[in-house]
Structures are given as C-alpha cells and as structure tokens.
Structure 1
Amino acid sequence: MTVDAGRALRHAAPVPYWLDQPHLRPDPLARLSGDDSCDLAIVGGGYTGLWAALLAKEEDPSRDVALLEAGECGGAASGRNGGFCAASLTHGFGNGMARWPHEMPTLLRMGRENLDAIEETLRRHHIDCDFQRTGELDVATAEWQVPELKEWVEQAQQLGEEVRWLDAEEVRAQVHSPIYRGAVFDPDVALVDPARLAWGLRAACERLGVRIHEHTEVTALHRDGTAEVLTTGYGSMRARRVALATNAFRPLLRRLRLHVVPVYDYALVTEPLGDRLAEVGWAHRQGIGDAGNQFHYYRLTEDNRIVWGGYDAIYHYGNGMRLEHEQRPETFALLARHFAQTFPQLSDVGFSHAWGGVIDTSTRFSAFWGTAHEGRVGYALGYTGLGVGASRFGARVMLDLIDGRDTERTRLSMVRSRPTPFPPEPIRYGAVQLTRWSMDHADRSQGRRNLWLRTLDRLGLGFDS
C-alpha cells in the first residue's frame, strides 16, 4: 500500500498530545530560592519521584518532604508516554522468566498488588486520569511470532496468570486488522492519560504537605557530615535522606553513568475518529502491542483517537540529549506507513500530534535500585519504557532502602542485583547500532537471531525497542 505520509502528517503539532491540554495543565510551581532543609529530598518530578513523595507522606505525615524538579512535574517521559499501566515489574513476562525465574511467582503477585494499590490511590485521592483496566493484546503480526506467544501463555498459566490465547479469527473479530495472526490477552494492564496521572499525583502530594519546587535543576550532590546537600542554581537543599528519580537524565552519582542510557522513542496520535472507529471495532478498548523485536504500541484515547508509537528507538552518540532530537520526520513517516498497513481502512486519516522524547534503558530492561553515601541516598532507574505502573513499586523499594528496612521487597534478587553497565564510547554507540540492525534483520528473517543477538542473549544483555 502506498501511503502519502506527508499528507497524513501535514497538520501534526510537534508537541506531545497528552501535554497539550492547557485547560487541565497546572500552573508551574516556584523554584527553590535560597538555602533550605528537609527530612527527605527527592530529585525528579516524574512518576518515581511523585510516588516516593506521596508514599513517604502517607506513611509518616510528620516527615518533611521536598521534591526538586528541573522542569515541570510530568513534563518529560512521565507525561508523554503511551499510558500503559501494567502490573508487570519486570518489563514483561519473558524478561522476568529469563532473569528471575524462581522469583516470578512473587514478582507476579507483587505486580498485581501494585496495580491494585495504584487504582485504590487514584480513587482515594480523586485523581481523574481516565484509568481503565482494559487489559492488553500482544498481537502476532508474523507467523514466526505465534509459537513464542503461545509458549508465553503456557508458562504464565502454569504460574496462575489469567492470560489467554486468541487465534487470528478471534483477535480480528475484536480489532479489525488484516495483519493479525493471533494474540495473547493479558488482563492485568490498565490505560491512563499519563500527563493527568502526573498532574494528579503532584496535586495529591501538595495536599499532603510536600514542598515541590519546579524549574529547580540539581547540579551537584555532596555529603556534609551526616547530611546530604543538593546544589541548585538559586540555592541548596540540605536533607537527612535523598531519593534520586532522574530517569534518563544525567545521574548525580558517577557510579550510575554507565548503567542507563537515554533512548528516543516516538509517537503519533490521529485526529478523533468519530463514527469511523466502528471500522476498526475495538469495542473493549484494550491496549495493543505487537510481538516484533522492533514493536509498536497503540491504544485509544478518551476522545477516540489512536495513539501509535514505538518501533524506532534512537540512541545518539555520547548519551546525546538535545531538544531537536524530539522531532524526527523520517521516524514519523515510517510510523504513519506502519499505521496504514495495520489499519488500511484508516489510511486516509490524518495525525494531529507527532512527538518524541527520551526514556532510560538499562541492559536488563527493567528497574534497578541501590544506595550510596552510607545508605542515605537511594535511587531507582532503568524502567526502559514500562514504568507507568512499575514506578510506584520502584519508589516503594527505594524508600525501604534509604530507611534501612528489611522487607520482602528488599530481599528480592531483582532488587539486590545490578545490571551490567553499558560499555564506554565509542564502543557503546557501535554496539547499540549493531543491535538495532540485528533486531531489524531478525524481524525480516522470520525471527532468526544472528550471532550478535545470540551472544547478547547468553550474556543477559540487550537493547529493547
């Protein structure tokens, strides 16, 4: 099918759809000015930082908590992602089984409990973020993907998971795409408006007394006796404990600088479909992801647009992060063509927004934790794009660690272990580019993984699109 991507994208605003809600977006909060102090200082106003602040205050209302955010809360990955709030803590069942098979029953249970707790918190704090437990379809779009998905269903069901297999006819009856070959339905996934979730968490934190300073970039962290001092452009914050939730941005701890890399992810959103949604079906409004090595994720919005993202994952040399990287016309055109191949009945639909931004990725694809400065500083990083739900669990573990608590969470091998660091440049850039090429080659070769990918598999390393 020939698609005029330029026509489809000609009216696309170069901003994240979710953040383009001026009637809902809260006014920015004042930056930190002068010197201050607190019991717990949190660096980063994305999901991990906001959940850490909320959980700390709910647990101990007397605890003096301050949150410092370089931009505005939810203004980065937390406000512009696909809004898939999954129960998975391990970036999917397969990744968890490959790394922590003996812990998977516990991790699956904790993941479901975490998702339930998110829903309960949103209800209790009256956070309206269009939270819907729709579940997710992981669809096979090529025959070689079918056996792998069926194996996932078999293994997951043996561990008590309620996933189920849908054949091609069954899945196409639910969502009308000619390229579907089958699907796994996972009920333990919710969809949210990601920006409204971040803004709602910010408001809940404020109501509980968390002091939030936006436009307050922390440039340095150092020890001063028994306290930690965070330096900013207009002042400093002295704290007994510090929680670092900086995601893809340059870590304040040097030891972490080879453990995460920033990767650019891109997305489009259509104009509202109106009556044309019936051409696709999608009555159950599930989230959808396909099973390729380079995969797409897509879902419906509250006003019946389709968010369509993923596939390209772009790394720039030297952990490069620049504003101009957030717009990549060749990726937007590629995504538009893939959209039309998946839904040819909507090939004439235009896109209203096109955007990109960084996510943090680690070599194990999922979050990792640790402490520094004699346990007074904690961190949670590395979600690799599946942190909407897992970030609450990540924040909970980080608080356990800096408070010195021995819990079921902190005893997990997943929590006690660290990912293999990425190599330094220029080896890092070359390895990432070779991995991306190999993944694309595998998708075009019935899933056959070359020597490079097989080597990464044996070493427990990788690079996820």
Structure 2
Amino acid sequence: MGTTVFERHRPSASVVDHALEGTAHSVFWRDDLPDDLKPDRPALTAAITADLVIVGGGYTGLWTALLAVERDPGARIVLVEAQRVGWAASGRNGGFCEFSLTHGRENGLSRWPDDMPTLDRLGMANLDAIEASEAAYGMDFHFERTGELSPAIEPHQIDWLKEWHAEAPADEGLVYLDEAAVRAEVNSPTYLAGVWDTRGCGMLHPARLAAELARVAEERGVQIFERSRVRELRTDGDRVQVVTEQGRVSAARAVLATNVFPSLLGRNRLMTVPVYDYVLMTEPLSAAQLAEIGWKGRQGIGDMANQFHYYRLSKDNRILFGGYDAVYHYGRKVRERYENRPETWRRLANHFFTTFPQLEGLRFSHQWAGAIDTSTQFAAFFGTARRGRVAYAAGFTGLGVGSTRFAGEVMLDLLDGVHNERTSLEMVRKRPLPFPPEPAAAIGINATRWALDRADHNEGRRNLLLKTLDAVGLGFDS
C-alpha cells in the first residue's frame, strides 16, 4: 500500500504545537455573531394552537417557516427548538452552499439517473434563490458566489478530474486546470491539477444565515420558542400535538426538522446515523500571507480523496480547515464529549501545513466539532406520516446548507398534497435503506471507514466491500 501526500510531507511537531497553543474550543461562527442577531427567545410554557408547527430551529426548520409564511401570509406558524436557533450543524458547518441536491453528480447518477437533469436544474434554481434572498429579505450572511475548486493531490486523481470535466454538460461552468493553472489560483505544492466549478457553489457565514432566517421569519409573524425540547408527538383527531417539557402546540400540520437528533417517528430511528466532523479556524491572514497563497478567487476547496478535506476563507481572511476524520460512536449517540478529539485536531493541523507550508507560524484561533446526519443514500430523504399531517426530511450528509431550502419546499408540497416536479422525483417518493441496528451498524461503518482509507492508499481502487455497498445502494460518508 502507498502513502498519501499528507503522510509524505509532514510539518515538524513544533510547527503544529505552536499553531494549536491557546486554541479556543469554541465555534467561530457563533462567536462572530453580533448581539442583535442572537436574541434570547422565550421557552414555550403554555398550550397554544397553530396552523403549522415546526420542530427544529436549524436551516431545515427555518427555511420551512419562512417559505410557509410566504405561501400563506395569514397562517399562524410556530417553531420550537430544543436549544438555541442555529446552535447545531446549522451554526457549525463550513459554509459551503452547493447547488447539488444529491451529494454530487456521481452519487445522483448512480441512484436517480433519469431524474438528474431535473435535479440539476432545480438545484441551480435553489442556489440562485438563496443568493437572491439576501437582497429580497434584507439579509446579510456574507454570501459569495465563488464556486468550488476540487484539486487532485495524488496522481491517480488527475484522470478522475479529466473524466469529470469531459462528461459534465457544457453549460455547467466547469473549468479544468493543469498543475500550473491550479497553483496560479491557489498556491499549494500538493496540487497536481484541479477542476473549478465556477457556478455551482457559494460561500456564506453559517451562523449568520440561521440568525437572519430566524429574524426575517419573526418579522413576518412566525413565533419561535427556544429551550423547548419536544418530548412527544401525538395525533388527536384531526390535530397534531407537539408536547414540550413545559407546554404544547396543537396544530393542523407539523414539520419535523430534527435531522441528526433522534426522530419523533419510530419509522425513522434507523434511517440516519450521527457522524462527527472536526474543524480548525486560523487567525486572520496578513496581506503578506495571503500573497503567498494567492486564492484571489476565494473559492471553496474540497480535495478528491475519500477522506477529504474542505477549506475556505472567511470574510476577515481566516482559513477554515476541516474534514478527513468522520467519526461514528457506537449506539447512534449525540454527546457533547464526542466534540473534544485532540488527536483529530492535531492531524488536521499537520494536513493544513502540508497543504500550505508557506504559512508556518500561523496559529489556529478556534477548534470545534459537530454531528452530521448521514443517510445510506448520502442525500436527504422525505416523507409524510400521521395520515399526511406530518412531513419530514433528514439525512443531508453534510450538504444541507443549500438543500435544506429545497427540503422546505418539498415538505410544504407534501403537506399540501401537491403533485409537481419536486414531489414526482424518485428521491422524494422512495425511502433509502436504513442502517442496521447495533452492533451491526458500528461494525459495518467502521469496516467501511477502513476500506475507504485503504482505497486512498491504493490509487483510489475500491475493494470488494465498497463495491458491494455501491451495488446495493448502501453507504457511509461525511
């Protein structure tokens, strides 16, 4: 088995020690929010009624609330959140807002080939709508339509990029970059080639997006209750009862937007697993440091490995660097203690200075982690329950920044009983395979992670386990 570029070109231990010294265990995006975008909202402490109740105050729930009030301005819409708006994945992610609704073209073509032209068109329209929403609603979430750069960091990945570029539709905006051209865009000695998707991705401030969605929704009459954990979902005649620790909401319809957290529907308990993702954020780069690496296009970057890294620039020119390790803990538990993993941050720091050795001496200001809701199809699944009065979406697998808005549209369509091109999609109509219960889930996921690591060390060649999982439509990804 070979060694990867990150194993061949490691920085010295002293460089990593210096960079991680004094790093705060805190989410930069949340720390960066101005006070007026993090109001302290009340808990639900009474029994109230609504036309629509939404469980979950992340992107999925917030987009659904805003889209619902746009569809029916007179409706009474209530959203309940167990913690604070945007505190989980919606406030901790990398801020990559992609047009793909299917976790990339290859995954979509392997699962829903007949629908891909429609999925691509709807996905691009959805991204355009997110970009336009800043002006339309008077929001500011630092959106930049930079596109995304995918560099090859091992020789065998160059052919993958050439094939991807050759097979993409001509109007998709993909640009192939040879070694000189890709390093002219972003100066990393690890880059051998690249594909720049110039249209299909934007960068944004994750916590600001959640906060702004909540602000705009409230301005239009949506009631948001924080620190109101839902204990039970009941059906009472033609009403849905959402029961919290101190109150309840009786509504005609409900949306479940809890994603990585255990579903209130038993049928969905095995449909997702929580996978922990880890991130470092640097201090702001100086003008001289920026000049060393170029990156004038400010693209989001994600390399081509199975265990991939993603990184981007913030508005104040920090570098967010995350990915690689995707850690599953036995029992599908979401626990705060899983967010502290020093060995992963040290590994990420090693990989950062392998990618940008010219930045040695730079420090990391923040380190954090969070859970991603992974499904076996690597993309969201949808459905209804309780005789069509409850809609749900989950399983975004790390690409929910953009696709959660689309999910909101789908769930509202399903509740309305609308038959259109969204609800006609196979990915909307059919549920993916569930993950098995424990201990089979842990055994299978860890075996898959091992196989993915071996593939990265063997020129990307997938072994029998990975080929079998591909064939039956099962997967595990970050």
Query: For the superposition of Structure 1 and Structure 2, which TM-score range results when normalised by the shorter chain?
Result: over 0.9
**TM-superposed deviation, 1:121:** 1.6
1:349 alignment partner in structure 2 = 362
* Residue 362 of structure 1, aligned match among 359, 369, 375: 375
2:17 alignment partner in structure 1 = 6
CA contact (8 A) 2:142 2:315 kept: yes
1:223 alignment partner in structure 2 = 235
**TM-superposed deviation, 1:376:** 0.3
* Residue 202 of structure 2, aligned match among 179, 186, 190: 190
Aligned residue for 1:195, secondary structure, equals: helix
2:314 alignment partner in structure 1 = 301
CA distance in 2, matches of 1:180, 1:228: 54
* Residue 178 of structure 2, aligned match among 141, 164, 167: 167
* Residue 72 of structure 1, aligned match among 81, 84, 92: 84
Question: TM-score w.r.t. structure 2 length?
Answer: 0.96
1:314 alignment partner in structure 2 = 327
Q: Deviations over 1:296-337 (max 9, x none)?
A: 000000010100001100110000211111111000000000
Corresponding letter in the other structure for 1:448: R
CA contact (8 A) 1:339 1:347 kept: no
Q: Deviations over 1:412-437 (max 9, x none)?
A: 11111111100110000011111111
CA distance in 2, matches of 1:10, 1:150: 41
Moved more, 162-171 or 34-43: 162-171
Aligned residue for 1:357, secondary structure, equals: strand
Corresponding letter in the other structure for 2:374: T
**TM-superposed deviation, 1:103:** 1.1
Distance 1:124 1:22, change over 3 A: closer
What percent identity do the matched residue pairs reach? Answer: 53
Q: List alignment gaps of at least 5 residues for structure 1.
A: none
Distance 1:147 1:22, change over 3 A: closer
Q: Deviations over 1:250-269 (max 9, x none)?
A: 10001001101111101000
Q: Give me the CA root mean square deviation.
A: 1.0
CA distance in 1, matches of 2:144, 2:264: 36
* Residue 284 of structure 2, aligned match among 258, 272, 290: 272
CA contact (8 A) 2:151 2:194 kept: yes
**TM-superposed deviation, 1:411:** 0.4
CA contact (8 A) 1:3 1:340 kept: no
**TM-superposed deviation, 1:2:** 2.0
Question: TM-score w.r.t. structure 1 length?
Answer: 0.98
CA contact (8 A) 1:266 1:355 kept: yes
Give the 5 Å matches for 1:88-127: 88-127=100-139
Q: Deviations over 1:372-418 (max 9, x none)?
A: 00000000101000110111001100110011111110001111111
Corresponding letter in the other structure for 2:346: A
2:63 alignment partner in structure 1 = 51
1:177 alignment partner in structure 2 = 188
CA distance in 1, matches of 2:353, 2:222: 46
Alignment: residue pair count:
464
Corresponding letter in the other structure for 1:2: S
CA contact (8 A) 2:33 2:207 kept: no
CA contact (8 A) 1:93 1:152 kept: no
CA distance in 2, matches of 1:22, 1:456: 42
Aligned residue for 2:275, secondary structure, equals: strand
Q: List alignment gaps of at least 5 residues for structure 2.
A: 1-10
CA distance in 2, matches of 1:180, 1:59: 47
